[in-house]
Structure 1
Amino acid sequence: MTGDNGVTTCTLRLVEDVLPPSAQPVYLPAAERAIYVVEGDVTVEQPDGCQHQRADGAWLGGAPVALLAGSTGARLWRWELVAAGGEGDGLLRSAPGSSSALKLKADLEFDRRQDWLMRCDRVEFPKGGVALTHVHQGPGIRCCLYGEIRIDTEGRSGTFPAGHAWLERGYEPVLAPTTEREETAFIRCFILPRACKSRSSIRYVRPEDAAVPKTQRYHVFGERFITLGA
């Protein structure tokens, strides 16, 4: 949805899909999306080729796709950026034996003067690790893979164990401590200015925190330039 204030509103959603072993293909229409394989493996077919992904791998693209689960099935986290107010909710409805559930969705505003990219990555913490108070250059939805993380922002606090998702708008400062009981990791898909390509988007709010050794580790699965509302 495009407004007259120089802003485009899009919906970012995270859906969890569970595909049974060696099931018939699941077809998805074109959308700017990232698919992370939580368990099992999947082949992503698109008009100009295909790509096989095992657990802890991710695929990014914008074309219509067919998903083919491997011999043990697959559990997927699927992020999609679509036009706000568009038809459909992204859930699988014509795939017998498969299931899907909406974990989180949010309407987000983007400056049309900016060009954007989608990035999918994994962030890992040791026991008791913390991301010091920071902002990002764009919004995104995260989902805890294992462990537990607390998100403190704008006077609000929420705790997210494995399988739970949350939104960060980017411009709202976040302090993110993790549990002392075990290591923690989350998977993130967020939308950034194209100038952030291959660069970290994090900015620390307090100047003294920028020089402190950081406990978190990052692995970028991929990023690609996108068209808003496509």
Structure 2
Amino acid sequence: MATSTYVLRLVKDVFSPHAVSKSLPDAFRILYCNSGDLAFEGGAALRPDEALYMRTGYALRAGTEGGELWRWEVGESAADPDLDLGEGIRSELVVGNPVPNVEKLEDWLIRCDSVLFPTGGTAVPHTHIGPGIRCMRNGKLTLSTDTKSQDYYPGDAWFEPGGEAVWANACTEECTTFIRVLLLPKDLKGKSSIRYLNEADRQKPKSQRYKSYVDELLSLK
């Protein structure tokens, strides 16, 4: 079996109040602030429900509230994730999966968005063109495939390889939101990655709403 050159990971960094991280090396990253008070060394803030794409290294400082950072990284499969950011910071590798179809990074883009379901919202059977990692922020989502069905709650994360049919049901008690990062062919910049199993579903009203944070081409330069 051929080995994959690249892996997509999600790491969670929990900052104690006033903790300062070590400077991380350059990498392909999406940084998302789930909660708290975080700022880059130099002053620029990263507020809750904000995300950005960073190619260069960085250090972060927490304010009086501390904070929780979700960082998605595209890296060499042989490299270990950085989990020691310094005193007062607890880091955890949540999900890490090979992305075997990604051979040349310059042929791909990285996208970060959120998907919000109203109470009782549903997603009809569909696929996505590229792989990605999702992480729940609010509510509860029951995600189904041809072989299994699983419930996800705030903080839970999962990998979807792309090409596998999935459908979903949100809870009826509150709105449900998850954050996702996808790797997609570069010609999908600004375009939807979803494909419906039943083409008639494309024209039907959808209950979910989307918020775009990042849609950037990957480049080695």
TM-score of the pair, normalised by structure 2: 0.91
1:10 equivalent among 6, 9, 19: 6
The alpha carbon displacement at 1:164 in A equals: 0.3
For structure 1, which runs of at least 5 residues remain unmatched after alignment?
none
Matched to 1:71, the amino acid is T
Q: C-alpha separation between the residues in 1 aligned to 2:52 and 2:44?
A: 8
For structure 2, which runs of at least 5 residues remain unmatched after alignment?
none
Could you say which residue in structure 2 is the equivalent of 1:129? Answer: 121
Figure out how many residues of one structure are paired with residues of the other and give that number. Answer: 219
Could you say which residue in structure 2 is the equivalent of 1:64? Answer: 57
Are 1:161 and 2:153 matched, yes or no? yes
Could you say which residue in structure 2 is the equivalent of 1:106? Answer: 97
1:119–1:223 Cα contact (<8 Å) kept: yes
Are 1:42 and 2:38 matched, yes or no? yes
Percent identical residues: 39
Counterpart secondary structure, 1:110: coil
Instruction: Considering fraction of residues, name the structure with more strand.
Output: 1
1:61–1:224 Cα contact (<8 Å) kept: no
Q: C-alpha separation between the residues in 2 aligned to 1:81 and 1:112?
A: 12
The alpha carbon displacement at 1:223 in A equals: 2.0
Show CA shifts across 1:157-189 (max 9, x none): 211011100111111011111111211000001
Q: C-alpha separation between the residues in 2 aligned to 1:21 and 1:223?
A: 31
The alpha carbon displacement at 1:28 in A equals: 1.2
The alpha carbon displacement at 1:42 in A equals: 1.7
Counterpart secondary structure, 1:186: strand
Q: C-alpha separation between the residues in 2 aligned to 1:24 and 1:30?
A: 18
Could you say which residue in structure 2 is the equivalent of 1:21? Answer: 17
Show CA shifts across 1:123-155 (max 9, x none): 100011111111111110001101011111231
Counterpart secondary structure, 2:100: strand
2:116–2:176 Cα contact (<8 Å) kept: yes
CA RMSD of aligned residues (A): 2.0
